[in-house]
Amino acid sequence: MWSAFLGVVALASVVSACTPSVTTVSGTHAPVTVCSGALIFSDDFEEFDLEKWQHENTLAGGGNWEFQYYSNNRTNSFTDDGKLFIRPSLTSDQFGQAFLTSGRLNIEGGAPADRCTNPQWYGCERTGSPLNILNPIKSARIRTVNSFSFRYGKVEVRAKMPAGDWLWPAIWLMPAYNVYGTWPSSGEIDLVESRGNRNMLQNGVHIGTQEAGSTLHYGPYPDLNGWERAHWLRRNSNGYDRNFHRYQLEWTPDFLKFSIDDVELGRVTPGSGGFWEHGGFNSNPNILNPWRYGTKMAPFDQKFYMIINLAVGGTNGFFPDGISNPTPKPWSNNSPTAATDFWNAQAAWLPTWGLNQNEGKDASLQVDYVRIWAL
């Protein structure tokens, strides 16, 4: 009896022991103590918890002149049956077609949750004109900027990518405090991005729904970004829009590793020269290394927060010119009227979104869960 009792006591102390972790956290939903291996943030989307997820409210277009307007509206972001949906809709559904070419949108609101979150790139107020229409698509972008940020850990997001021409879903992380300066000095971690086109080929390669990518952005200033040395693609002939997949990040003081369904996509294990050397920036003696007082993982040695969004189009080349698609790409990436060109080709792309079937769920980015563990 006595030895069995001692065994129970010993087991209980093993179960409750907390091994300290190298992972650090902050935010309203961060645990007070971080134990090694513990689940430190999760959402199964049984309900839409806006204490965890803050909506972006902006016309800014992600700095890429993307065509969407992000707002907090249950048409575009909602949970149903334990899943998060980010679904695109037409701005004209709400304001009418004529509004796009002549209306004025001022999205600044008075309530704390209604403030414009990004004034850059005419993000809080725009006036439409026939050549430069207002953002024709409504969508959503949500983030844990106030609720949870962390440094080092394991992330797994089970998600299904949307199908529909020119849709650009993303599940990613941005630096909470820009410790090394503004983008891209403090880094960016793109867990997964894809393109909604079902039949888009570039040089014979399917770069639409059959391709998913992970990327790190880092560099001393926007024109000097080492992302091409930290960018991986995986192909799936079934399409990432057909099934849920698990998109994974393992982030330690030694490496950043991306996987899909437990199969590694790629990793960076920087040497002692860190990301400065990895990016090849050390060949230019005239640029000061913003990470010189950080660790070899800098800028990825600081806290990041999660973002989930569905963008459309844009002129930064994510949708390259000269690709083949059943209907041609309606804008060119150097067009000063890209959003207008896109909108005028509505008859070509809108049917591919299937907004009238199945509540537009096929065109939605769907997320089953987000889980983050301490190392």
Ligand X SMILES: *[C@@H]1O[C@H](CO)[C@@H](O)[C@H](O)[C@H]1NC(C)=O
Binding positions for ligand X, rule: CB under 6 A:
73, 75, 89, 93-94, 138
Q: Can you give the C-alpha Rg of the chain in angstroms?
A: 22
Burial 79-104 (b: 16+ CB within 10 A, else e): beeebbbbbbbbbbeeeeeebbbeee
Q: What residue has token string 């930290």?
A: 230
Q: Find the farthest-apart pair of alpha carbons in the chain and give their distance in angstroms, rounded.
A: 86
Comparison of 109 and 328: residue with beta carbon closer to ligand X: 109
Closest distance between ligand X and the C-beta of residue 364, in Å?
14
- 110-116 long-range contacts, Cβ below 8 Å, gap at least 24? 113/50, 113/54, 113/55, 113/72, 114/57, 114/72, 115/57, 116/57, 116/58
Comparison of 93 and 261: residue with beta carbon closer to ligand X: 93
Does residue 198 contact residue 239 with C-beta atoms inside 8 Å? yes
Closest distance between ligand X and the C-beta of residue 212, in Å?
29
Comparison of 26 and 73: residue with beta carbon closer to ligand X: 73
Comparison of 89 and 352: residue with beta carbon closer to ligand X: 89
Closest distance between ligand X and the C-beta of residue 186, in Å?
33
Comparison of 78 and 232: residue with beta carbon closer to ligand X: 78
Query: What is residue 266's DSSP assignment?
Result: E
Does residue 181 contact residue 188 with C-beta atoms inside 8 Å? no
Comparison of 94 and 357: residue with beta carbon closer to ligand X: 94
Comparison of 125 and 261: residue with beta carbon closer to ligand X: 125
Q: Two tokens at 363?
A: 């065109």
Closest distance between ligand X and the C-beta of residue 74, in Å?
7
Query: What is residue 316's DSSP assignment?
Result: S
Closest distance between ligand X and the C-beta of residue 83, in Å?
20
Closest distance between ligand X and the C-beta of residue 70, in Å?
12
Pairwise CA distance, residues 125 & 98, whole Å? 17
Closest distance between ligand X and the C-beta of residue 93, in Å?
5
